[in-house]
Amino acid sequence: MRSLKWIVLVALLAAAGALLVHVVSLDAEVSSRFEGKRWALPTQVYARPLELYVGRRLSRDELLEELDRLGYRSSERVSRSGHYQVHGDRLEVMTRGFDFWDGSEPGRHVEVAFAAGTEITAIDDLESGGPVVLLRLDPSTIGSIYPRHGEDRVLVRLDDVPPALIDALLTVEDRQFRDHYGVRPQSLFRALVANLRAGGVVQGGSTITQQLVKNFYLDNRRTLRRKIDEALMALLLEWRYDKDEILEAYLNEIYLGQDGDRAVHGFGLGSQFYFQRPLAELGVHEVALLVAIIRGPSFYDPRRHPERTRSRRDLVLDQMQQQALLTEVDADQARARPMGVVDRNLQTTRYPAFMGLVQRQLRTQYRPEDLMSEGLRIFTTVDPALQARVEAQVATGLEEIERERGMASGGLQAAAVVTDTDSGEVLALVGGRNSRFAGFNRALDAQRPVGSLVKPFVHLAALEHPSRYHVATIVEDGPMTVPLPGGRTWEPRNFDREWHGPVPMYRALTQSYNAATVAIGMDVGVEAVIDVLQRAGLQRRPPAYPSLLLGALEMSPLEVADLYQTLATGGFRSPPRAIREVTTVDGEPLSRYPLSVARGVEPELAYLVNRLLQETVRDGTGRRARGALPADWQLAGKTGTSDGLRDSWFAGFGGDRLAVVWVGRDDNASAQLTGSVGALPLWAGIMADARPRPLLLRPPEQVRERWIDGLSGHGSAQGCAGAVSLPFLVGTGPEQTVPCGRQQRIDETEQPNLLRRIRDWLGG
Amino acid sequence: MSGNWSRFGGASRTAALMLMAAVLAACAPLSPQPAPEPDPAPPPAEEVTAPASSAVLALLDRSEGFMAAGDHDSAAASLERALRLDPQNAELWHRLARVRFAQADWAAAESLALRSVGLDATGALRRENWRLVADARRRMDDEPGAREAEARLRPG
């Protein structure tokens, strides 16, 4: 008898001990969720913020477009942030404040005035009445980097949450939240009885605290043991933390929807996901919708099941009215409003190709686990307005080419990169014709032969020998045999299968003559050309084959942008960059990606080559862009075409914008396109949208302008037939001159043909 | 062929008009600049120096404040922001060069000063830039380069 009593006692003690151990371990788990990091916070990635100041070239409609992108709403009376109203040529707006890396930008109530719809002429602060010198809008979110299991969220603080949301939430989910200890005994008891009757586990009435605990688990098993553990953890939570802390955690934890592989957690992201606006700006009909969704985000999906979800929203509003949290008038108004949910594709990662570049640049500095959990904020360089236009240009441009050339639709592919020349910031990046599709990123990963895009660097290498080469040096464009290793030979040909004879060097570049360029390149040496390419930004050393002189060199569009960026800056290296700043979740600067400028090629030589590239667009192989673009932009650029017309390239720039376009096929078959019929029209369309400043090249101190006879390359004079003005380094240039007026005035573009005809006559 | 280009026509005309407006509006250079000497014929380019807008001046002030407080990174960030507004402003490039020099980033200081020279090769700013280039090169033990820069200091 005695021993049995002992056995029972020991057993009871052991059970109590086991329970204690279990409770302690649950307590540790609860605490670990709350102390320190409560959530793995995804990294937020932002577009460039739009700067507003007097004199900025920006139309009213462009500002409206940006406000729309940011989810600002038009309203009759502008009294809250995130709202605006149009008054003719003026726009009244209440901006949202934002914490940038270099200080916080306050929200302001301003009126922006536009002149002729193209330029900001005044910004007035409507609170103080004074003028505003400079104003930065909040940046749009272009995506987030979240962990594999896909939880994404935007953290909110309880203070920032609209009171109506708390009212609606507690009314519908947990009216005794402020009074209970984590569980409601009577509902727990009811659930237990129901479980026993059903012989299994059914859903009971959970408190907010229990729902929060449930969300701690990744899976959704409903065992009795799990239910008991959840109740225990709810009690522990309430014991350790106060109600506001629990409520705030709930607001950030609750699951609100699914976006592909991304799970939408918390009301902060939920507000963005469904309304594309910050939570603080939502009206009562919108917070009621979010509360309605909690019960079952896939069952009550406002996009897939609008009627069902709307009636549940109205039910939430009814209950709020019953609890006297809404007046009848307000409730009626709210019930009359549509759900107002934005289109889903506005919210998913907008620019997968650009995001690819951002991730690649981040990966050199951050560990993937930090990117997914530390809530970093990445400020990028992408200009969403331009990005959208470039995407459209690529898509419609390819369709037009296919239609005009009778090609099968959809066979062509393209990639495009647009940078700000002065800073190297990447403004737009398109990785294929379907830019929403996060597939093969051709802008970064397609390595294709660049063809004649390499020629400016061949000429630059020659101009590095001022005693041998200036832009009017006569070079031979004729049959030649280049010895290759292994006793083989190479006979470069021109694209038009003709020889152009002795030509001034500048024409070899502007008309893209192959034989003349190979002659120059073999004279200065392929190694010297590779040196120039490396100084301009090429990150590797290709083998020194003579075919490199005609662009048998594979590069990605981004790498080409890097090279041409060096020309566009006048000789300085400012590599393309996609990130400006990285800050912590609290806005503390973590790493800067400062404007970097390094010496690349000599500014004088870059100037000479850039003048010739301007001539190329004006009257050379790029002249087909002329009709599409204003002549006074004075753009510079170069075509590129690879062997067998597989790759069609154009790279060029204006005063502050550079664009590189590649067109070809993924299967590497011939695209049947030269640079000037494939990539050039796309480039011209992109440049027209990018609206660069004119390219006003400033002659360096060591450069002088001279009049040259375009035919012979000898000195000439202003007003003489066939005379062109060309730049020369001081102390270089042709020594001979031709007498003025001896020639007939000849249309410059006819010259090579005429010269050829003359030679043909002489040759018999 | 014309069909291929017609869709750009309207946009480019508008753009040209806007550009003309911008050129007309852009006057009052930061410092008076003589036009480049018209050796036989300058490229068909007008010298357009963007006006130093009050926004740029405000950012310059801010950057000076950060410099005075010894916060070089923030000073540079303000200047970079100003450069995004007015990238052709030689003064801004020069100031950024000075910030990098203060941070002992000699190579960046040299390149930025050279960029400034490329935008304004006249007057006092030119001299200051070449002085900065010479100092930066000397810190990098590039004595011949420093001498070459100093040679540019003399009016040529």
- Which pLDDT tens digit goes with each residue over B105-135? 999 999 999 999 988 877 889 999 999 999 9
Give the closest of A55, A423, A628 to B84, CB-based: A423
DSSP string over A211-222: HHHHHHSSS---
Q: Report ipTM (2 d.p.).
A: 0.80
Residue A634 in contact with partner chain B when CB distance is under 8 A: yes
Would you call A717 and B40 a contact, using CB atoms and an 8 Å cutoff?
yes
CB contact under 8 A, A594 and B40: no
Does A79 participate in catalysis according to the annotation? no
- Please state, as a whole number, how many other Cβ atoms lie within 10 Å of the Cβ of residue B1: 9
B127 touches chain A (CB under 8 A): no
pLDDT of residue A649: 97
What residues of chain B lie within 8 A of the CB of A707, using their CB? 40-41
In the set A140, A144, A373, A452, the catalytic residue is: A452
Q: Which residue is it, tokens 């976006």?
A: A259
Give the pLDDT of residue A39. 67
Q: Give the contacts of A566 (CB within 8 A, at least 6 positions apart).
A: A535, A536, A537, A572, A573, A574, A600, A601, A606
Q: Let me know the angle formed at the C-alpha of A555 by A551 and A557, rounded to the nearest 5 degrees.
A: 115
Could you tell me the residue ranges of all domains in chain A?
44-144, 146-346, 351-449+556-599+623-698, 703-763
Name A673's Cβ contacts closer than 8 Å, sequence gap at least 6: A401, A405, A412, A641, A645, A648, A663, A664, A679
Per-residue confidence (pLDDT) for residue A362, from 0 to 100: 87
Q: Answer yes or no: do B115 and A597 touch at CB < 8 A.
A: yes
Residue A151: which of A283, A277, A306, A261 has the closest Cα?
A261
Spatial separation of the C-alpha atoms in residues A748 and A726, rounded to whole Å: 14
> What is the block-wise mean pLDDT of chain A (764 residues), using blocks of 10 residues?
82 88 83 64 91 93 94 91 94 94 91 89 94 94 76 83 93 87 76 62 68 72 77 86 89 87 87 89 94 93 94 95 93 94 65 91 81 85 96 95 91 96 96 84 95 97 96 94 88 89 94 95 97 96 94 96 97 94 87 88 96 93 85 94 92 97 93 90 96 93 91 88 92 87 44 49 42
- How much is the CA Rg of chain B, to the nearest whole Å? 19
Say whether residue B122 is in contact with chain A using an 8 A CB cutoff: no
Separation between Cα atoms, residue A289 and residue A155, nearest integer Å = 19
Tell me the C-alpha to C-alpha distance, in Å, between residue A192 and each of A187, A231, A258, A385: 8, 12, 32, 58
Q: Which residues pair with A46 in a beta bridge?
A: A141, A379
User: Which site among A52, A120, A133, A134 would you substitute to test the B interface, given the most B Cβ atoms closer than 10 Å to its Cβ?
Assistant: A134
Beta pairing, strands A501-504 & A474-477: antiparallel
Superfamily of domain A351-449+556-599+623-698: DD-peptidase/beta-lactamase superfamily (3.40.710.10)
CB A469 within 8 A of CB A505: yes
Angle, CA A21 vertex, CA A16 and CA A23 arms, to 5°: 90
Nearest Cα neighbor of A345 from A252, A440, A437, A426 is A437
Q: Which residues of A touch B12 (CB under 8 A)?
A: 628-630, 688
The third-level CATH classification (topology) of the domain covering A44-144 is Penicillin-binding protein 1b fold (3.30.2060)
Query: Could you read off the pLDDT of A131-188 as tens digits, one per residue?
Result: 999 999 999 989 888 765 677 778 888 888 999 999 999 999 888 888 888 887 776 6
DSSP conformational letter for A577? B
B115 near B136, Cβ under 8 Å? no
**A335 CB neighbour count, 10 Å cutoff:** 16
The type of residue at A606 is A
pLDDT at B143: 96
Nearest-angstrom CA–CA distance, A93 and A124: 11
Active site annotation includes A74: no
Q: Given CB atoms, is B69 within the 8 Å cutoff of chain A? A: no
Q: How far is A475 from chain B (nearest CA, A)?
A: 24
- Enumerate the residues of chain B whose CB falls inside 8 A of the CB of residue A629: 8, 12
Percentages (nearest 5) of helix, strand, coil residues in chain A: 40, 20, 40
Chain B neighbours among A 100-129 (CB < 8 Å)? 101-102, 116, 118-119
Listed by number, the residues of chain A in 556-595 with a beta carbon closer than 8 Å to a beta carbon of chain B are 569-572, 581, 589, 592, 594-595
Q: How many cross-chain Cβ pairs, A to B, lie less than 8 Å apart?
A: 157
For A194-207, give the DSSP string.
Answer: HHHHHTS-------
Q: Is B151 on the interface with A (CB under 8 A)?
A: no
Q: What is the pLDDT of residue A133?
A: 93
Q: What burial letters (b/e) apply to A199-238, b meaning 16+ CB within 10 Å? A: eebeebebbbbbbbbbbeeeeeeeeeeebebbbbbbbbbb
Domain range A146-346, its CATH number among 3.50.50.100, 1.20.1260.120, 3.40.50.720, 1.10.3810.10 = 1.10.3810.10
A54, A123, A419, A597, best to mutate vs chain B, most B CBs in 10 Å: A597
Cα–Cα distance, B49 to B28 (Å, whole number): 8
Query: CA nearest A648: which of A370, A290, A303, A402?
Result: A402
Considering only the beta carbons, identify the residue of B18, B43, B115 that sits closest to A611. Answer: B43
User: CA–CA distance from A245 to each of A32, A208, A212, A213, B56 (Å)?
Assistant: 14, 12, 12, 13, 45
pLDDT value of residue A321: 94
The minimal CB distance from B58 to the residues A118, A133, A705 is found for: A133
Cβ–Cβ gap B55/A133 under 8 Å: yes
Residue A722 near residue A709 (C-beta atoms within 8 A):
yes
- Does B36 lie at the interface with A, CB-CB under 8 angstroms? yes
Angle of helix A284-294 relative to helix A163-173, nearest 10 degrees, comes to 30
Instruction: Sheet with A141-145: list strands edge to edge.
Output: A141-145, A43-46, A377-380, A579-583, A589-592
The per-residue pLDDT for A328 is 94
**H helix or E strand, kind and range, residue A136:** strand A135-136
The secondary structure of A299-356 as a DSSP string is: TT-TTT-HHHHHHHHHHHHHHHHHTTSS-HHHHHHHHHS---PPPGGGTS-S-HHHHH
pLDDT tier, B11 (very low <50, low <70, confident <90, very high otherwise): very low
CA-based nearest distance B102→chain A, Å: 15
| Cα-to-chain-centroid distance, residue A564 | 20
* Distance of alpha carbon A505 from alpha carbon A456, whole angstroms: 11
| Residue B5: predicted pLDDT | 38
Beta strands in A393-466 (DSSP E): 413-420, 426-430, 448-449
Q: Could you give phi then psi for residue A614, rounded to 5 degrees? A: -65, -45
Cβ of B4 and A681 within 8 Å? yes
DSSP string, B88-130: T-HHHHHHHHHHHHHTT-HHHHHHHHHHHHHH--SHHHHHHHH
pLDDT of residue A194: 67
Which of the residues A66, A173, A248, A281 is marked catalytic?
A: A173
